[in-house]
Amino acid sequence: MSETLASTKRPERERIVLVGAGMAALKLLEELTAACPGRYDVTVLGAEKDAAYNRVLLSSLLAGEAADEDLTLKDRSWYGQSGYRLFTEAQVSSIDLAQKTVRLTDGRWASYDRLVLATGSEPIRLPLPGAHLPEVVTFRDRADAAKLANLSGPDKSAVVIGGGLLGLEAAYGLAKLGCATTVVHIFDKLMERQLDLKAAATLRHQLEKKGIGFVLSAQSAEIVGDAHVEGLKLADGEVLPADMIVMSCGVRPNAGLAREAGLEVRRGIVVDDAMRTSDPHVYAIGECAEHAGVVYGLVAPAYEHAKTLARHLAGEAEAAYAGSLLSTNLKVSGVSVFSAGAVEAEEGDDIVTLADPGHGHYRKLVMRDDRLVGAILVGEASDALWYLDLIASGAPLGEMRDDLAFGRSFVATP
């Protein structure tokens, strides 16, 4: 007989079932606790064995620079003390919009008045020959980090497919564990969405100093090996020897549940300004959601989704999500990198660049109509949030413009 995870009778409080127990889901719970504590009867269903943890630190965990407990965001006790029922290793298999129920793979089920999907995204696995071999790993969660750590060692070699953020983070972790590591990227520059050519070259040079090799403008063709990985064959015939292959070619929204239930799905689960899907009782936040044609794969927009939805659920009629300014501000394999707004200039824009190749520093500012519209910082990013505020506000630069590239401490502000 199947077991229900929530009351089948309509309680005094509305029932919210939250599918997903990651960072976006936790942010929603924190915001609900602050905005309307106790207003809803909340059940949280997480597919992983752990509740929300800091995925940003996965590379540090792999590299041995962070312990497993350092990734914990809230103890499990916090959920109960806050009035939330948390179930982990609870994989949802289907949603019945008409009956307002969700069913788990083990037969358990839960009824809802409002459903929130925070199912995140899933790593893309290239359909290469040999991709089934046991040493072909993605880099997305704690289990991936643990598997890579077990495969690694000073006598091992690794090839990472993908020169975006996650690929570089995986490469850094593997190199720190002593693996001879090579990154293969289909584009001619690293982090092509966030960096221009000079910034990408600066980052590459700094990562090469850390022992990471690169093969750019290269297409992966086949994973070589019979029972175990022996290498990666490129489209030009070159074979890169490897004991393991890390596929880090991006992610796609985990929208299968929503699609099968009949919700509108394009790249992600389509939502309006209140984070509401095509069903008025169902919402979506985080990496699985698509707002105004955009899917964000970053933590900051997911948190903004959560804040908007919490305000909406708290009864704020004016709560509306207006989209996020895309920005990256973190350490990529130990190198500070910041990017926001316009990476490449348009005709008529003013561009200021500062470069110090010896120290691995690069700075580029894009200005349009006396306003800062884009910034890239590599190697030194202490002024990143200040530049981000200037871009977001659209404030006229005025007298700041001449010294803007030198940083906040050089600019005379009113």
Considering the domain boundaries, does residue 405 fall inside one? yes
4 found inside a domain: no
Based on the domain organization, do 230 and 158 belong to the same domain?
yes
Backbone CA torsion sign across 262, 264, 269, 273 = negative
Both 404 and 332 in a single domain? yes
Does any domain span residue 108? Answer: yes
- Residue listed under structure tokens 């979506």: 284
Give per-residue pLDDT as tens, 94-151. Answer: 999 999 999 999 999 999 999 999 999 999 999 999 999 999 999 999 999 999 999 9
The model's confidence at residue 76, banded by pLDDT at 50, 70 and 90, is very high
Give residue-wise pLDDT tens across range 361-391. Answer: 999 999 999 999 999 999 999 999 999 999 9
Q: Distance (Å, rounded) from C-alpha 105 to C-alpha 108?
A: 7
Same domain, 23 and 110: yes
Whether residue 213 sits in one domain with residue 143: yes
Look up residue 48 and give its two tokens. 């992983």
* pLDDT beyond 70 at 195: yes
- 146 assigned to some structural domain: yes
pLDDT at 332: 76
Domain end, chosen from 247, 269, 295, is at 247
> Residue 261: helix, strand or coil by DSSP?
helix
The owner of tokens 């190749």 is 357
Whether residues 269 and 240 share a domain: the answer is no
What is the per-residue pLDDT across 200-234, written as a single tens digit (0 to 9) for each?
999 999 999 999 999 999 999 999 999 999 999 99
Q: Say if 215 falls within a structural domain.
A: yes
Q: Is residue 319 part of a domain?
A: no
Residues 75 and 220 in one domain: no
Q: Which residues pair with 239 in a beta bridge?
A: 233
Distance CA 328, CA 385 (A): 10
pLDDT, averaged across the chain: 93
Instruction: Summarize pLDDT for 255-302 with one digit per residue, the tens.
Output: 999 999 999 999 999 999 999 999 999 999 999 999 999 999 889 999
Q: What is the mean pLDDT of residues 297-324?
A: 94
Check whether residue 243 and residue 141 sit in a common domain: yes
pLDDT reading at 10 higher than 60 = no
Q: What is the per-residue pLDDT for 1?
A: 31
Does 266 share its domain with 337?
no
**Partners of 190 in the β-ladder:** none
Domain CATH number, residue 346: 3.30.390.30
Q: Is 127 a member of any domain?
A: no
Give the domain range for residue 379: 327-410
pLDDT for residue 22: 96
Instruction: Judge whether 6 lies within some domain.
Output: no
What is the per-residue pLDDT for 121?
95
Q: How far apart are CA 204 and CA 337, in angstroms?
A: 12
Task: Give the end of a domain, one of 313, 340, 360.
Answer: 313
CATH of the domain at 178: 3.50.50.60
**Is residue 140 located within the same domain as residue 243?**
yes
Looking at residue 56, its pLDDT comes to 87
How many domains, in total, are found in the chain? 3
Question: What predicted TM-score, i.e. pTM, was given to this entire model?
Answer: 0.91
Three-state DSSP class for residue 176: helix
Same domain, 272 and 222: no
Indicate whether 69 and 141 sit together in one domain: no
Do 270 and 288 reside in the same domain of the chain?
yes
Tell me: the pLDDT tens digits for 27-61? 999 999 999 999 999 999 999 999 999 998 898 89
Instruction: Tell how strand 136-138 and strand 244-247 pair up.
Output: parallel
Domain stop point among 189, 214, 247: 247
